[in-house]
Amino acid sequence: MTARTTQSWPTDEGLIAAERAADAGPEWVAETRRQGLRIFRDEGVPHAKIEAWKYTGVNGLVGIGFDPQGTVPEVVIPPPPPLAGLEDAYHLVFVNGRFAPRLSDLDGLPQGAALEPLTAADPNPPEAVRAYLGRILELDGMPFAALNTAFWTEGCLVSLDDGCALSRPIHLVSIAAGGETPAMFAPRTLVVVGRGARATIVESHLGATAAPTFSNAVVEVVAADGAVVEHYKRVEGGESGFHTGASAVRLGADASYDGFALTLGGRLVRNEYRMTLASPGAECRINGAYAAFGDSHVDNTTLIDHVAAGATSREIFMGVIGDTARGVFQGKIRVRKHAQKTDGHQLHKAILLSSGAEVDAKPELEIYADDVKCTHGATAGKLDETMLFYLLSRGIPESDAQRMLIQAFLSGALDEIRHADVREALRGALNKTVDDATRNLRDDQ
Amino acid sequence: MALLEIQGLRARVEGNEILKGVDLRVEAGAVHAVMGPNGSGKSTLAHVIAGRPGYEVTDGSITFEGRDLLALAADERARAGVFLAFQYPVEIPGVTNTTFLRHALNAQRAERGEAALDPIEFVRMLRDKMRALDITENLLKRPVNVGFSGGEKKRNEILQMAVLEPRLAVLDETDSGLDIDALRVVADGVNALRSSARGMLLITHYQRVLTYVVPDHVHVFAGGVIVASGGKDLASELEEKGYADFVGAAAA
Ligand SMILES: Nc1ncnc2c1ncn2[C@@H]1O[C@H](COP(=O)(O)OP(=O)(O)O)[C@@H](O)[C@H]1O
Ligand SMILES: [Mg+2]
């Protein structure tokens, strides 16, 4: 990797100050912080010559001048409306990365379950944090995650003892609210699910204002043998909302993970997943849908790493791109030499609604074992004209017909979500976004 | 005033002229059969009436209840009361049949200034019509036409017609590919909708359906024009002689 020469963001003074801060903080966090800083110094802000960032430029983000150490605006916002259908979830709410106890609801957690805010300044963090935080995600090639590791101050811990099953979903809400200065924050989440334990986690990354915000998140998930983890993510940023989110997942033997990334807005969103199937029999499902309008840029980048034999992975991402928006999908399945009997399938499908819309899809298989079953594919096209005409011929107005077909198309991905309540809650959020966007189409006519 | 009046209609598909001067007049209350060999342009005529994009009208006019139909977009024509039963009904994964039907009906109700029906009222309204067409609840819950048998697709077209109650129904080979029982169900459905206020254009390749739905007028369509018109006896004549004579007439 070349040293950082092209970009001087954040400033060297900023990085040096961060180093000093790391030295001054608790030892459990200092080590990972230094590592994050080192990697960020080596790799720098990504640019188009770096393969993984070829289709997603960050000049717009860098140009805003976010300060990774800046104090984020203290804003008092009304409680966000709960996601319809998830009212009875446990709620942990953060505003500009700060825990907001008054907006949160943690009542009724069963024995063996912990759900709590986390701070990097805590000299005595829970054992799970010492054991796993910063040890699941490999930072190489992940400059923004490295930056999160160097600068995070608050986050949260979800931890379930062996055999503990949560019946209600956990809803982690992160609200970005810009003020007079651009707000940047780095949420850090650790999820540790014990043997045979079960958890459903929904992350919502929301933009509450039109002012620039940058939420640079990292989530690490460790699922022990036989654990069942459902992990769903919704991003609905504002017009000037930037979000980079790296999720690293490590699955034990026969553990199962059902993941979904729903992106409904934001100036620039990159959802990056690194799944490690390190033990036999693990099942990994990572799916997603996005509706990109205006000039938003939505990037889903995934690496599914089959290390152990006999694991399965399924991946379907579907997107609808309108106006001058852009979609990017980079999906790699890596099958290591000993990962025989791997069963991996990946698909990306996009619909482009306008001539100014664009999509770049790069599915990749990297296979070193010889007895595997792997497929991948990508399609991009327009809304099906025959279907559109069929709806029109029944008197359905064009904008409604488009809306129905877009929602129907994205259902192909959404239907993959195993948790029924979450599936319908996310469908509601998606339908609303598509309703608004197609209503705009009609107003333009 | 005729319900539908087509005059000197010429139309092209992908640069090829398919309709070469069609004249046709349908009065309210009348059922007109249009018969013709494959490839003669029957479906093209049906699509041009329904307003399918990509079908370019180069000459002539279509007037519907005194309005210039060609000036309306496809959805506007449907809301004005024009219905096309597709020769090949379209599958729409992800949209349930009920949702589809309800949206279609509510779009028409909105046009007439009537309140939308909620899902419960809608299903209640639908029950009788479904029973008559032998359409099960299960078929309504499934995505539009996805995995339907050929007969189910055609019955579903007739169900849509029954729900939308159009002023003009164009049925494009709704009889094709049906066994005798299914044909009877479909024909009963069509007959049930015959009324003095409604006109029908029954496009067919075979005379068979016309013993169940007896037309008032029969037209022979060949080479993009109507080459002969007559009463219901013309259909039997056609059955005996075949299309060859008429096609010859078109070429001449
Ligand atoms: N979408 C299309 N593109 C190009 N040619 C078409 C299309 N639809 C129909 N045609 C041509 O137009 C002619 C008439 O077709 P059609 O109207 O389907 O006839 P019919 O319904 O009488 O069998 C045929 O030669 C057919 O190949
Ligand atoms: Mg035809």
Q: What is the pLDDT of residues A245-268, one digit of tens each?
A: 999 999 999 999 999 999 999 999
| pLDDT grade for A74, boundaries at 50, 70 and 90 | confident
**pLDDT, mean of residues A416-430:** 97
Q: Say if residue B35's pLDDT is above 80.
A: yes
Task: Give the residue from A279, A307, A333 where a domain finishes.
Answer: A279
Contact: A395, B79; criterion CB under 8 Å: yes
Chain B residues within 8 Å of chain A (Cβ atoms): 50-54, 73-75, 78-79, 83-84, 86, 89-90, 92-95, 99-100, 103-104, 107-108, 111, 143-144, 160, 164
pLDDT at B248 (0 to 100): 66
State the nearest Cα–Cα gap between B238 and chain A, in angstroms: 32
**How high does pLDDT run on average in chain B?**
93
The answer on A25 and A158 residing in a single domain is yes
Most confident of A173-182, A426-435, B229-238: A426-435
pLDDT at A78 over 90: no
A119 within some domain: yes
Compute the distance between CA of residue B206 and CA of residue B37 in angstroms, rounded to an integer. Answer: 9
Distance B44 CA to ligand 1 centre (A): 6
* DSSP 8-state code for residue B28: T
Nearest by Cα to A415 from A302, A260, A311, A273: A260
Give the domain-ending residue among A279, A303, A318: A279
Query: What's the structural domain count of chain B?
Result: 1
A250 belongs to a structural domain: yes
Q: Which domain holds residue B89?
A: 4-251
Share of chain A above pLDDT 70, in %: 97
pTM: 0.93
Can you tell me the mean pLDDT for B166-178?
A: 95
- Each residue of A168-221: pLDDT tens digit? 999 999 999 988 888 999 999 999 999 999 999 999 999 988 899 999 999 999
A111 contacts: CB under 8 Å, gap ≥ 6: A164
**What's the B42 CA to ligand 1 centre distance in angstroms?**
8
Residues A114, A250, single domain; the answer is yes
> Domain containing B76 — which CATH number?
3.40.50.300
CA nearest neighbour of A241 among A217, A272, A265, A261: A265
A10 prior amide bond cis, ω within 30: yes
Q: What is the pLDDT of residues A276-326, one digit of tens each?
A: 999 999 999 999 999 999 999 999 999 999 999 999 999 999 999 999 999
Q: Does the CB atom of residue B13 touch ligand 1 within 6 A? A: yes
* Structural domain of A264: 3-279
Structure token pair of residue A268:
């620039």
Q: Considering only the beta carbons, identify the residue of A390, A396, A412 that sits closest to B107.
A: A396
Poorest-pLDDT segment among A24-28, A367-371, A414-418: A24-28
Find chain A residues with C-beta within 8 A of B79's C-beta: 395
Specify the pLDDT at position A3: 45
Structural domain includes residue A357: no
Domain boundary among A225, A260, A279: A279
User: Facing residues of A90 across strands?
Assistant: A170
Q: Which of B67, B85, B91 is nearest to B77 (CA)?
A: B67
Q: Scanning the structure block, which residue is given the tokens 């949702």?
A: B99
C-alpha of residue B16 to centroid of ligand 1, in Å: 9
Q: Does residue A270 fall inside a structural domain?
A: yes
Summarize pLDDT for A85-103 with one digit per residue, the tens.
Answer: 999 999 999 999 999 999 8
CA-closest candidate to residue A283, choices A261, A264, A306? A306
Least confident of A78-82, A181-185, B78-82, B138-142: A78-82
Q: Three-class SS of residue B80? A: helix
- Is the same domain home to A269 and A416? no
* pLDDT band, very low/low/confident/very high, at B183 (cuts 50, 70, 90): very high
pLDDT at A1: 41
CA A288 to chain centre: 10
Question: Is there a contact between B182 and B154 (Cβ–Cβ < 8 Å)?
Answer: yes
Q: What are phi and psi of A280, to 5 degrees?
A: -65, 150
**Considering CB atoms only, which of A387, A397, A398 is closest to B92?**
A387
Q: How far is CA A36 from CA A147, A271, A272, A430, B43, in A?
A: 6, 19, 17, 35, 66
**Is A239 a member of any domain?**
yes
What is the average pLDDT across B35-54? 96
Closest Cα in chain B, distance from residue A289 (Å):
15
**Closest C-alpha to A185, from A73, A105, A37, A312:** A73
Q: Residues within 5 Å of ion ligand 2 by Cβ? A: B 42-43, 87
DSSP letter assigned to residue A103: G
Chosen for mutation from B79, B84, B90 (greatest number of chain A CBs closer than 10 Å) is: B90
Number of domains in chain A: 2
Considering the domain boundaries, does residue A79 fall inside one? yes
- For the stretch A434-437, contacts whose Cβ atoms lie closer than 8 Å and that sit 24 or more positions apart, written own/partner, are A434/A291, A434/A320, A434/A403, A434/A406, A434/A407, A434/A410, A435/A403, A437/A291, A437/A293, A437/A322
- Of the candidates B229, B172, B221, B169, which has an alpha carbon nearest to the alpha carbon of residue B200? B169
Q: Which residues of B touch A405 (CB under 8 A)?
A: 92, 95
